[in-house]
Amino acid sequence: MKALSSGRSEARTSLLRFFRSTEMTLLVVGAAGFAILVAGSHGSLLHGDAVRGILSYLTVPILIGLAQLVVLAVGQMNLSVGPLGGFLAVLIAALMADHGVPVLLAVVIALTLGTLIGAANGLLVVTTRINGFIVTLATMTILGGLQYRVVGTRTIDPGSGILKTFGTMSLLNVPVIFLIALAAAGLLAFFLRRVVTGRRLLASGGNPLAARLSGISNDRAIVVAHALSGLIIGVAAVLTVASAPGVNKSIGGDWLLPSFAAPIIGGAALTGGSVSVLGAVLAAFVIRLVDVARAQYSLDPSWVNFTVGAVVLGTVVITRIRETRQAKATRRRVDLGRTGITGDSSTAGSAS
């Protein structure tokens, strides 16, 4: 009995699957959108400055998308991404500008604190058994207060230190901070696909009951996911301080929608277990194009939120339709497959 098809046809199936995937759709939409914008700008969008600008402003959307994605993987949500990022950003700036803390130490503090606050979110969820939505709604408000407490109404300019130089550095017109975001995405994808802890997150998100019966701790998965989310937000905060001219109480205020938009448009299931890092990165790029278009054609800023919101809603609806259709097709295929099974059940038995 041939249980698995040959390697070649398998490669063809996975190629076929990619062409039908959300990632492929986003790639096409992104490339087409970018080409149209380039044509509309008579090529000026391809100049070094313009490319650097686009990629530089893509850094934070990618990171906050990843921070949301990792909690979506276990079927959780993190509403506190914005205020956490804002709080950490003003904290770094204040430590350096007001207290003369060295850059490296400030960065380490921010990353550690981000991880700890994320872990605290997770611990609150598993110890109180209160829905993560409510818990992070509360911590969102608390962190917003802390951010204001640190920065008040001022705008802190951490000056022209190493961090600033770093923030404006680029390799062949690609900003280094953007490369860091890409590296974070690559690491996260690898973590979820090939590292035991990451696999456990996906298993727990995919089916907590089956995960528990397989010896996986769902509580640990939730805490780890929130802690990672906090760490990634810490990275986003550091890069914000590095690239922004100054930080104030408004940093992080507009992160919530994009943090959900990128993973959801990228194909993540809100129920957990199914996320796509590549999809989220591509989706962040597509969303960024909406902003570029606004700048290029001097559109009203309100159109950006309108468009992004509409795209999120549209994606969710389309995904739902596709899932329903897929489920129907599967049922048909399984019915067909059943006749196949009865055909060689004797072989199946003796093979054991």
Partner 1 sequence: MTDIGSDPILLADGLVKDFPGVRALNGATLRMSPGSVHALLGENGAGKSTLIKILTGLYQPDAGNLVVGGQPITLHSANDAAAAGIAVVHQERNLVPEFSVAENITLNRIPVRGVLVDRAEMRARARRCLDLLDLDLDLDAPVNRLSVAQAQLVEIARALSSENRVLLLDEPTSALTLQESDRLFELVRRLRDQGTAILLVSHKLEEVFAVCDTVTVLRDGVSVLEAAPLAEHSRDEVVTLMVGRSHQAASFEPHVVERDGPAALELDKVSTASGHRDISLDVRRGEIVGLYGLVGAGRTELAKALLGLDRVVSGEVRVHGQRARVRDVREALNRYRIGYVPENRKEEGLFLDQPLTMNIAVTVWNRIQRAFGYVPRARERKLVQEYTESLGIRASGPDQHAGLLSGGNQQKVSLAKWLAAKTEILIIDEPTVGIDVRAKSAFHQLIWQLAADGLAILLITSDLPEMVTLAERIVVMRDFQIAGSVPNDHDYERTSTAVIRLIHGSGSSNRKPYER
Between 153 and 347, whose beta carbon lies closer to partner 1? Answer: 347
Name the 3-class secondary structure at 175: strand
Least CB distance to partner 1 at residue 328 (A): 12
Residue 219, burial from CB neighbour count under 10 angstroms (0-12, 13-18, 19+): middle
Could you give phi then psi for residue 227, rounded to 5 degrees?
Answer: -65, -45
Instruction: Pick the piece of the chain touching partner 1 (CB under 8 A) from 161-169, 208-216, 224-232, 313-321.
Output: 208-216
Point out which span in 176-184, 243-251, 276-284, 332-340 binds partner 1 (CB under 8 A): 332-340
For residues 55-78, one letter each, b for 16 or more C-beta atoms within 10 angstroms of the residue's C-beta and e for the rest, the string is bbbbbbbbbbbbbbbbbbbbbbbb
**Taking CB under 8 A as the rule, which mask of x and - marks residues 29-68 in contact with partner 1?**
----------------------------------------
The alpha carbons of the chain give a radius of gyration, in whole angstroms, of 23
**Of the residues 20, 149, 322, 333, which one makes contact with partner 1 according to CB under 8 A:** 333
153 binds partner 1 (CB under 8 A): no
* Residue 277 in contact with partner 1, rule: CB under 8 A: no
Q: Please identify, among the stretches 27-35, 121-129, 201-209, 245-253, the one whose residues bind partner 1 according to the rule CB under 8 A.
A: 201-209
* Only segment of 156-164, 212-220, 226-234, 236-244 that touches partner 1 (CB under 8 A): 212-220
Work out how close the CB of 179 gets to partner 1 at its nearest, in angstroms, rounded to a whole number: 22
Q: Does 15 bind partner 1 (CB under 8 A)?
A: no
Size of the site for partner 1 (CB under 8 A): 47
Examine residue 273 and tell whether it contacts partner 1 (CB under 8 A): yes
* CB closer to partner 1, 35 vs 210: 210
Q: How far is CA 247 from CA 39, 152, 347, in A?
A: 35, 11, 69
Name the residue nearer to partner 1 (CB basis): 4 or 171: 4
Q: Does 211 bind partner 1 (CB under 8 A)?
A: yes
Q: Does 334 bind partner 1 (CB under 8 A)?
A: yes
Query: Cα(333)–Cα(12) distance, rounded to whole angstroms?
Result: 19
| Angle at 24 (CA atoms; ends 329, 22), nearest 5 degrees | 50
Amino acid at residue number 72 = L
- Cα–Cα distance measured from residue 201 to residue 205, given in angstroms and rounded to the nearest whole number: 6
Per-position DSSP letters for 99-159, written without gaps between them: H---HHHHHHHHHHHHHHHHHHHHHHHHHH---HHHHHHHHHHHHHHHHHHHHTT--B---
**Do 320 and 67 touch, CB atoms closer than 8 A?**
no
Min separation Cβ 131 and partner 1, Å: 18
- The least CB distance from residue 257 to partner 1, in Å, is 26
Q: Which of 103, 146, 203, 261 binds partner 1 (CB under 8 A)?
A: 203
Site for partner 1 in 301-330 (CB under 8 A): 330
Q: Which stretch binds partner 1 (CB under 8 A): 9-17, 95-103, 105-113, 283-291?
A: 9-17
67, 98, 97: which is closest to 84 by C-alpha? 67
Q: Which of 77, 119, 134, 84 is nearest to 219 (CA)?
A: 119
Integer Cα distance of 58 and 125 in angstroms: 31
Question: How far apart are the C-alpha atoms of 303 and 68, rounded to whole Å?
Answer: 24
* CB 202 to partner 1: min, Å: 7
Tokens representing 126 are 């598993």
User: Which residues lie across from 175 on neighbouring strands?
Assistant: 170
Q: Which of 343, 226, 284, 344 has its CA nearest to residue 55?
A: 284
Q: Which amino acid type is present at position 237?
A: A
Nearer to partner 1, 56 or 276 (CB): 276
207 binds partner 1 (CB under 8 A): yes
* 195 is a site residue for partner 1 (CB under 8 A): yes
- Residues interacting with partner 1, by CB under 8 A? 1, 3-5, 10, 13-14, 194-200, 202-203, 206-207, 209-217, 269, 273-274, 330, 333-335, 337-338, 340-342, 345-352
